[in-house]
Amino acid sequence: MIIDRAEVIVTSPDRNFVTLKLTTDDGLTGLGDATLNGREMAVVAYLAEHVVPLLLGRDAHRIEDTWQFLYRSAYWRRGPVTMAAIAAVDMALWDIKGKAAGMPVYQLLGGASRTGLLAYGHASGKDTEELFDSIRAHQEQGYRAIRVQTGVPGLKSIYGIASNATFEAMEGVRYDHEPAQRGALPNEEDWDTRSYLRHVPTVFEAVRSEFGPELPLLHDAHHRLTPIQAARLGKSLEPFDLFWLEDVTPAENQEALRLVRQHTTTPLAIGEIFNTVWDYQQIIREQLIDYVRSAVTHTGGITHLKKVLDYAAQYQIKSGMHGPTDISPVGMAAAMHLGLSIHNFGIQEYMRHGAKTDQVFQQSFTWTDGLLHPGDQPGLGVELDTDEAGKYPYVQAYLPYNRLADGTVHDW
Ligand SMILES: O=NC(=O)[C@@H](O)[C@H](O)[C@H](O)CO
Ligand SMILES: [Co+2]
């Protein structure tokens, strides 16, 4: 079963997506998500110029060998661009193998370990009233777990809060897309850690008294705190029993989490911007986190993320795969197949794609009573309508960035 065609498809229905489509000599096709939000075209070039020529003529069945060949023959290892490109090839090959076997990919990974995947959605609000409405709206949509992001008094624009502009742009969809403003240069947002640290505990106190102790609540600090500030936040949120506190501090310095861990029992989730097991080695071995946040799309595909999660399982660490709308439906399907099969599944981030995206990508996963399931179509269960995709050409888009009041650039 030889790969005899490889196409890199860029489409921007509600946002930019990069998809690799492989076709074999017996007519099977496979899709892989290669979307790197805000830097999409870097992966397009990496795939089109440097990977596609190496794929043509290869045996599509040799997933592990292809992975090792692409990783080691590149010479330059790791990093988001390389690992997103390898991830797309890996997903497409698993898709093809599933179709060849007549089985959904989760069956090839060892079968289902649960009936469905607990998912969480993104509630947000500039103030408590708007936040409560958003939480209720997500509960009505069936979410059993909810991420809470809030405005901070004195800060005009902040991560994770649906703004009217984006609201209209997304045809009324709440904060269900990532803030890469298309056709615009990076949007400058503002930040003040002390105001944030004073405000967030009061928000969770209000949410707990309104919604009770049971509802699993998550929060994303989005890389903005120093280790001691992260320790303080984790400690101040302990009374509100969070499911997890995410990206408390930039984790290139993995040992920074030791300090946070010493001060708080609030569960920690890290890794949505990590790309290989080496990014996790210390924080898994020293049990400095509770959830691995990587998406299949940014971590070398199903093959590599399964290895990361199998390593994490030895330390009782679970998956919490990244699932914003900058992960395409193909990447989401791959995450669901992997999540359904592994023992140490934790939770799946699930933001609903826009209507146009659902036209471009025919998906067969189900979302029932707060649980996701990848479905039982052979392969990943997603098909891409290239005519529909062709209607939405690429539009350059950047993620926002932060500056402090004195103008210093800060982590976003
Ligand atoms: O937990 N989810 C997140 O942190 C996302 O909202 C990220 O900001 C975007 O995916 C970046 O493209
Ligand atoms: Co995050």
How remote is the CA of residue 122 from the centroid of ligand 1, in Å?
A: 11
What CA–CA distance (Å, rounded) separates 309 from 374?
19
pLDDT per position as a tens digit, 51-95: 999 999 999 999 999 999 999 999 999 999 999 999 999 999 999
How remote is the CA of residue 357 from the centroid of ligand 1, in Å?
A: 18
Provide the pLDDT for residue 395: 92
What CA–CA distance (Å, rounded) separates 94 from 31?
9
Give the predicted TM-score (pTM) of the model.
0.96
- Rounded to 5°, the CA angle 405-407-412 comes to 85
Closest residue CA from atom 8 of ligand 1: 178
How remote is the CA of residue 374 from the centroid of ligand 2, in Å?
A: 23
Closest ligand to residue 36's CA:
1
Tokens of 350: 């699930």
**Residue 222 near ligand 1, beta carbon < 6 Å:** yes
Provide the pLDDT for residue 179: 59
The atom of ligand 1 lying closest to the CA of 147 is 1
Give me the helix-helix angle, 80-101 and 329-341, nearest 10°.
Answer: 70
Closest residue CA from atom 3 of ligand 1: 324
**Residue 178 near ligand 1, beta carbon < 6 Å:** yes
How remote is the CA of residue 293 from the centroid of ligand 2, in Å?
A: 8
Query: Is 222 considered catalytic here?
Result: yes
Provide the pLDDT for residue 185: 85
Provide the pLDDT for residue 165: 41
Provide the pLDDT for residue 161: 80
Catalytic residue among 159, 280, 350, 392: 159
Using a CB cutoff of 5 Å, list residues around ligand 2, an ion.
Answer: 220, 272
How remote is the CA of residue 411 from the centroid of ligand 2, in Å?
A: 13
The atom of ligand 1 lying closest to the CA of 160 is 6
Closest ligand to residue 323's CA:
1
Beta strands 217-220 and 29-33: pairing type?
A: unpaired
Closest ligand to residue 246's CA:
2
Report the complex ipTM: 0.98
**Residue 399 near ligand 1, beta carbon < 6 Å:** yes
The one-character DSSP state at 104 is B
Neighbours of 238 (CB within 10 A): 14
Q: Contact, 108 vs 94, CB < 8 A?
A: yes
- First vs last C-alpha separation in the chain: 45
Tokens of 120: 């969480």
- Which residue among 220, 291, 292 has the greatest number of ligand 1 atoms within 8 angstroms of its CB, and so is best to mutate? 220
**Residue 377 near ligand 1, beta carbon < 6 Å:** no
Query: Is 401 considered catalytic here?
Result: no
Number of helices followed by number of strands (H, E) in the chain: 15, 20
Taking the CA atoms of residue 281, residue 284, residue 287 and residue 293 in that order, the dihedral angle to the nearest 10 degrees is: 130
Closest residue CA from atom 12 of ligand 1: 37
The one-character DSSP state at 297 is G
Question: Letter for the amino acid at 313?
Answer: A
Q: Contact, 46 vs 35, CB < 8 A?
A: no
Between the alpha carbon of residue 308 and those of residues 154, 252, 271, 280, the distances in Å are 40, 17, 11, 8
Provide the pLDDT for residue 178: 56
**Residue 37 near ligand 1, beta carbon < 6 Å:** yes
Percent of the chain with pLDDT over 90: 90
- pLDDT truncated to tens, each residue of the chain (412 aa)? 999 999 999 999 999 999 999 999 999 999 999 999 999 999 999 999 999 999 999 999 999 999 999 999 999 999 999 999 999 999 999 999 999 999 999 999 999 999 999 999 999 998 999 999 999 999 999 999 999 999 999 988 788 886 544 433 433 334 444 557 777 789 889 999 999 999 999 999 999 999 999 999 999 999 999 999 999 999 999 999 999 999 999 989 999 999 999 999 999 999 999 999 999 999 999 999 999 999 999 999 999 999 999 999 999 999 999 999 999 999 999 999 999 999 999 999 999 899 999 999 999 999 999 999 999 999 999 999 999 999 999 999 999 999 999 999 999 9
**Which 3 state secondary structure label does DSSP give 361?**
strand
**Residue 220 near ligand 1, beta carbon < 6 Å:** yes
Closest ligand to residue 40's CA:
1
The atom of ligand 1 lying closest to the CA of 37 is 12
